[in-house]
Amino acid sequence: MKIEGKSYKTIWFINNLVKIIDQTKLPHQFVIKDLKTAKDAINAIKTMQVRGAPLIGATAAYGLVLSIIEKNDLSFIKKSSKELIASRPTAINLKWAVDRMMKKLSGVNNKDILKIALDEAKAITEEDEKFCKNIGLNGLKIIEDLAKKKKDTVNILTHCNAGWLATIDWGTATSPIYHAHQKGIKVHVWVDETRPRNQGANLTSYELNEEGISNTVITDNAGGILMQRGQVDMCIVGTDRTLSNGDVCNKIGTYLKALSAKDNNVPFYVALPSSTIDWNIKDHNQISIEERDSEELSHVEGIDENNEIKRVRIYPQKSKSLNLAFDVTPAKLVSGLITEKGICEASEKGLKGLFK
């Protein structure tokens, strides 16, 4: 998608370097950063210079390529793979990508390993891009139906950033919206600001603005009243891990939106590529929910009138904080899962019907 009219992907490889858009600087500064080592990739994931389930998976895949460039030695590569998987705990795409890379590299000799690793990392990014595009084409039908019925602008609420910045291109939740916009369907997006890191306000609103899509940033608590007033036609969110029973783990606050949507008969869809499905865990209590630094809550960053980035504390130093980064929305609150293969019920039967 575009930034200031120029097309970008979120990650690319050139001259033995991995290039990323540093998302901690957006929306005020657009900075392209070089990752030179596996440690750089791990750090970029931990500090959320790259974030979003599919993109951290792709970064981990390229992180392994960087570790081979650094030291073509199996025990070093294995150590890097473990550290990459541990860099963030909740999104399954991270483990999925590293496992896929390590499987491909198993038994390969030192001479060929770099080329094979690079080809596989590229395949992971190209596949994600294709899958996200297809998620958009599948989800487009839902928006088209709403637009036909309503004969007016379709209002869509989304949480966090499941946009192209969270993937390689297109996004998951935003892909149907981009496709609808490109077809000339009038859409407007309610963007949850998504405290504490404000990925909605800082990233989703930014990328929608760059594509010329009408959007309004709202507080995380505003979705309920908008739904009661009939101002939300549908919700679409992304996910970091969807269990085979259809339970959806996503950014903290997603669950409350799904409860509100249920109470107001607003369809609540989750968009995901198959790399986000966890076929192993059966009970959502087994998902490791990331707990992040309390400073993400106690401090906010913004730009002042002199164009200077400032970081300030917003509540007493003495106050305790708990910063859980994800929650789980039970399958019964999800109207459907929009995947690269089609839309299905949020259930084992639904998912197995699409992914044999």
Q: Which of 10, 80, 81, 167 binds ligand MRU (CB under 6 A)?
A: 167
Local structure of residue 202 (DSSP, 8 states): I
Residue with Cβ nearer ligand MRU (91 or 344)? 91
Give bridge partners of residue 33 from the DSSP assignment.
Answer: 20
Q: Indicate the helix (H) or strand (E) that contains 257.
A: helix 254-263
Residue ranges in 297-326 that form contacts with ligand MRU under rule CB under 6 A: 325
Place of tokens 């504390």: 313
Cis, bond preceding 330 (omega within 30 deg of 0): no
- Exactly one of 120, 128, 169, 240 binds ligand MRU (CB under 6 A); which one? 240
| Structure token pair of residue 146 | 């709403």
Q: Which residues of 209-238 are buried (b: 16+ CB within 10 A; e: fewer)?
A: ebbebebebbebebbbebbeeeebbbbbbb
Under the binding rule (CB under 6 A), the answer on residue 52 touching ligand MRU is yes
CB nearer to ligand MRU: pick between 171 and 176: 171
In the residue annotation, 240 being an active-site residue is answered as yes
**Nearest distance in Å: CB 159, ligand MRU:** 7
- DSSP tag of 153: P
Q: Which one of the listed residues 169, 240, 247, 327 is annotated catalytic? A: 240
Q: Which residues 6+ apart lie within 8 Å of 298 measured at CB? A: 313, 314, 315, 317, 319, 321
Q: Residue 207 is encoded by which pair of tokens?
A: 């990328």
For residue 172, state whether it binds ligand MRU (rule: CB under 6 A): yes
- The DSSP bridge partners found for residue 271 are 338
In angstroms, what is the minimal distance from the CB of 120 to ligand MRU? 21
**Given 57, 63, 200, 238, the residue binding ligand MRU (CB under 6 A):** 238
If one counts every other C-beta atom within 10 angstroms of the C-beta of residue 133, the result is 16
Under rule CB under 6 A, residue 199 binds ligand MRU: yes
| Range in contact with ligand MRU (rule: CB under 6 A) among 10-18, 32-40, 52-60, 69-77 | 52-60
Which residues from 122-151 bind ligand MRU, rule CB under 6 A?
none
Q: Which of residues 86-115 bind ligand MRU (CB under 6 A)?
A: 91
Q: Which one among 101, 166, 187, 331 touches ligand MRU, defined by CB under 6 A?
A: 166
CB of 85 to ligand MRU, least distance (A): 15
- Contact between 197 and 296 under an 8 Å Cβ cutoff? The reply is yes
Q: Does 336 bind ligand MRU (CB under 6 A)?
A: no
54 is a contact residue toward ligand MRU (CB under 6 A):
yes
Told to check if 162 binds ligand MRU by CB under 6 A, we report: yes
Tell me which amino acid residue 286 is.
Q
Residue 339, interface with ligand MRU (CB under 6 A)? no
Select 73 or 291, whichever has its Cβ closest to ligand MRU.
Answer: 291
Q: Output the smallest distance, CB 204 to ligand MRU, in A.
A: 10
| Cβ-based neighbour number of residue 297 at 10 Å | 17
Token output for 62: 């390229």
Q: Pick one of 239, 242, 298, 335: the residue that binds ligand MRU (CB under 6 A).
A: 239
CB nearer ligand MRU, residue 64 or residue 162: 162
CB-nearest residue to ligand MRU: 238
CA distance 210 to 303: 19
Q: How far is the CB of 194 from ligand MRU (least distance, A)?
A: 8
Binder among 250, 260, 275, 335 for ligand MRU (CB under 6 A): 250
Query: How far is the C-alpha of 69 from the C-alpha of 75, rounded, in Å?
Result: 14
Q: Where are the beta strands (DSSP E) in 184-325?
A: 187-192, 215-218, 234-237, 241-243, 248-251, 268-271, 277-278, 299-303, 309-313
275 binds ligand MRU (CB under 6 A): no
Distance CA 356, CA 339 (A): 14
Q: Are 8 and 21 in contact (CB under 8 A)?
A: yes
Number of residues that bind ligand MRU (CB under 6 A): 18
Residues engaged in binding ligand MRU (CB under 6 A): 51-54, 91, 160, 162, 166-167, 171-172, 199, 238-240, 250-251, 325
Catalytic residues: 240
